[in-house]
Amino acid sequence: MFVRRVASQLARNGTLTSSLRQGTNTAPKRMMGTFEKLGESQSTTVVTGAFGLFCAGGLVYAGSSFFGTLSEKKRIEDEKEGRRLARRAKLEQELQAEEKKACCKSKQRVSFPAALNEEWTQIYKEIQDLLENPAYDDGSFGPVLVRLAWHAAGTYDAINTKDGGSNGATMRFSPESAHGANAGLKVARDLLEPVKQRHPNVSYADLWTFAAVVAIEAMGGPKIPWRNGRSDAPSAAACPPDGRLPNASRGSDHVRAIFYRMGLNDKEIVALAGAHALGRCHKDRSGYDGPWTNSPTTFSNDYYVQLLERKWTPRSWDGPLQYEDETKTLMMLPADLAFIQDPIFEDWTRKFAANEDLFFESFSQAFSKLLELGVPFPQ
């Protein structure tokens, strides 16, 4: 029981160490690494509590109501603690089940070109050759290619109009290319233009989504199931309205509304947010500034680890509200904090922080689904 209480306290307080990045095999060591320290702390608490009760002995004259009040408070606290422990135990069971599934599936990953025809294999190589560039951002175009595909696909409306999404590559046209959320993506579109010119029979829609898949794998991420078959819209008439992409300044209700409109669930929402391990914000584009992680060109579960490990406080600056860590080198947006403030989002954040294989598998499935939203593939 004490070990479970220690583990629960670790989870509740976000006391997660960098060993989270090593996967679930480090979990027992991580718990035991803090066991002795927390054990001493708990003992101190017990002694302190006993001393406080002893000192309160002078209040006995007030009658049994004082102790009755204490007893009632203790009962309420015990009930709360019991519910919390039950919830945490359920979460641990779910995590173990997800770990087993992810472990088996992760062994099935293969090199991506194996399933491609000759032309797409050549395009794969051409995209890989474009990725590294010391003169751009942190030395790679990978993150901005992922953002291009994400923003092209994230406009899908599965509830009302059944339009938007990656099919059509409508960001080629104004007004979509000028939407605030798409600021800076001309870099990615221009980067891929020579590839398109060398392969005129390939659609922009397929090329943009495929480039993100190649970039994620090249930056150390999982293989993303992908297929061609998207077509390009002939004009701006197919552009979706502005406002369909997530607003970084909003909280969990807004995030859910945006992603539920696409037909995605809570697990998929949190998994897709993990792409913030890549890249950075630019003040001259989104208005925000800085990277989410210390390795912005490496795909990992570090986004979740940083969310949980660090203390995030509002940054004092001349830009919109964003949060900074203790070192003032990393940042989070208001929408990012939703993933540790909303209980359901937080559960998935902790799962993905504790198990990178689980995150990779979940992201692979969610991102593949995102890229195919609204695409009329042949049956």
292 annotated active-site: yes
208 annotated active-site: no
Residues, the chain:
379
Which H, E and C letters describe the chain, residue by residue?
CHHHHHHHHHHHHCCCCHHHHHCHHHHHHHHHHHHHHHHHHHHHHHHHHHHHHHHHHHHHHHCHHHHHHHHHHHHHHHHHHHHHHHHHHHHHHHHHHHHHHHHHHHCCCCCHHHHCCHHHHHHHHHHHHHHECCCCCCCECHHHHHHHHHHHHCCCCCCCCCCCCCCECHHHCCCHHHCHHHCCCHHHHHHHHHHHHHCCCCCHHHHHHHHHHHHHHHCCCCCCCCCCCCCECCCHHHCCCCCCCCCCCCCHHHHHHHHHHHCCCHHHHHHHHHHHHCCEECCCCCCCCEECCCCCCCCCCHHHHHHHHCCCEECCCCCCCCEECCCCCCEECHHHHHHHHCHHHHHHHHHHHHCHHHHHHHHHHHHHHHHHCCCCCCC
Report how far Cα 61 is from the mean position of its chain's Cα atoms: 57
Contacts of 215 (CB under 8 A, 6+ apart): 127, 131, 141, 142, 143, 145, 146
Q: Of these residues, 226, 292, 312, 348, which one is catalytic? A: 292
Rounded to whole angstroms, the Cα distance separating 315 from 324 reads: 6
End-to-end CA distance of the chain: 54
Q: Of these residues, 120, 151, 226, 348, which one is catalytic? A: 151
Q: Which residues are catalytic?
A: 151, 292
